[in-house]
Amino acid sequence: MASRQRSLAIMFPVHCDLRGQQALLVSLLTRMNVNGENIFAGAYVDRHSHVRADPAWLATAVQSDASLFVPVWGTRCLTEGEPPKLVLLPRTKIVEFIDDDEIIFLGIYRERPAFAVGIDKSVPEPFAQLGQFHDLRYLGSSLPAGEANLAAHARALVTWHRLQKYCGRCGASTQVAAGGNTRKCVNVECAVTIFPRVEPAIIVLVSRGDRCLLGRQGSWPEGRYSTIAGFVEPGESLEDAVRREVIEETDVRVGNIRYHSSQPWPFPSALMLGFNAEAETESIRLNDGELQDARWFSYKELTSGFPKLPYKISIARRLVDDWIRANRSSR
């Protein structure tokens, strides 16, 4: 199905930003935060949701020199330095891009109000001296965990606002509400409130005895394999989606499905829900054309250099790393 092919393509970037030994070391050290959460996860922002219905508080905060602003140019976030740090701007540095009718309040970050600011100009010249705009897909694993979390939050909300300018029910315009955490239809007879969309997707490491099941798409770099993944469909439980995706892509039937962890995946708005499952059958057949190959891999193979493992930014890598750790005794 085309939609699932798209989904996998966006879940696993086909290019990797090669950044040098220092950044790679930082990446290894920061790929999970101190709480063992996945990249982009972690409640580093106090969402301070009680002020979303307080326009006076929001108006004061957005005018304050103490507030922080996260610019999002297209889908890219501003960073500086090596290893990279997220650039958080005071109002004075970004004021020409702040639209008081379109503010997006993220919450309290480092004890200061934080806002996202979408920038749609083709060339964001005022920022040239402040850093470079990069896609989080290539940078997320190099940023400190709190900054990755804040940037993912900002990117997801800015992208959502751009796509929700009109009401899906009546076609009228919509306007920001709740400090940018919802939009509301301006047609008084409709007045529907639109909430930010999060798209759940399952991702699952399937094992059978001392081997696990990984697949690859033809567009991926040679030798790279990853776990099975796909979006949850209407009318499905997460367990239903796990069983369906694995059988659709590989013809393997699974059971004993256990939740592992989750990861915000703001490309643009997925939530990856990670699982382990046990295979009840072994024979592989590529049913739906989404995968170019799928195989069973042993611990020894996974630690030998082939296959190449999923990128460190993704929960897929954590599922594989955890399985490798748990199966050391089988080497």
Residue closer to Zn ion (CB basis): 55 or 171: 171
Residues 195-234 that bind Zn ion (CB under 5 A): none
By CB under 5 A, name the one of 5, 132, 181, 187 that touches Zn ion: 187
- Give the torsion through C-alpha atoms of 97, 150, 77, 17, to 10 deg: 180
Contact 103, 177 (CB under 8 A): no
Choices 66-74, 79-87, 108-116, 185-193; region in contact with Zn ion by CB under 5 A: 185-193
Give per-residue burial for 138-169: e unless 16+ CB within 10 Å, then b.
Answer: bbbbbbbbbbbbbbbbbbbbbbbbeebeebee
Residue closer to Zn ion (CB basis): 171 or 255: 171
Q: How many positions of this chain bind Zn ion (CB under 5 A)?
A: 7
Residue closer to Zn ion (CB basis): 173 or 303: 173
* Distance in angstroms (rounded) separating the CA atoms of residues 235 and 273: 17
Contact 173, 186 (CB under 8 A): yes
- Closest approach, Cβ 235 to Zn ion, in A, equals 26
Residues 142-181 that bind Zn ion (CB under 5 A): 167, 169-170, 172
By CB under 5 A, name the one of 68, 86, 103, 185 that touches Zn ion: 185
Burial of 182 (C-beta count, 10 Å sphere; 0-12/13-18/19+): middle
DSSP-derived letter for residue 62 is: H
* Distance in angstroms (rounded) separating the CA atoms of residues 166 and 13: 31
Residue closer to Zn ion (CB basis): 151 or 185: 185
Letters for 254-293 (x = contact with Zn ion by CB under 5 A, - = none) are: ----------------------------------------
By CB under 5 A, name the one of 24, 177, 190, 238 that touches Zn ion: 190
- Closest approach, Cβ 173 to Zn ion, in A, equals 9
DSSP-derived letter for residue 3 is: H
Contact 138, 16 (CB under 8 A): yes
- Closest approach, Cβ 182 to Zn ion, in A, equals 13
- Interface ranges with Zn ion (CB under 5 A): 167, 169-170, 172, 185, 187, 190
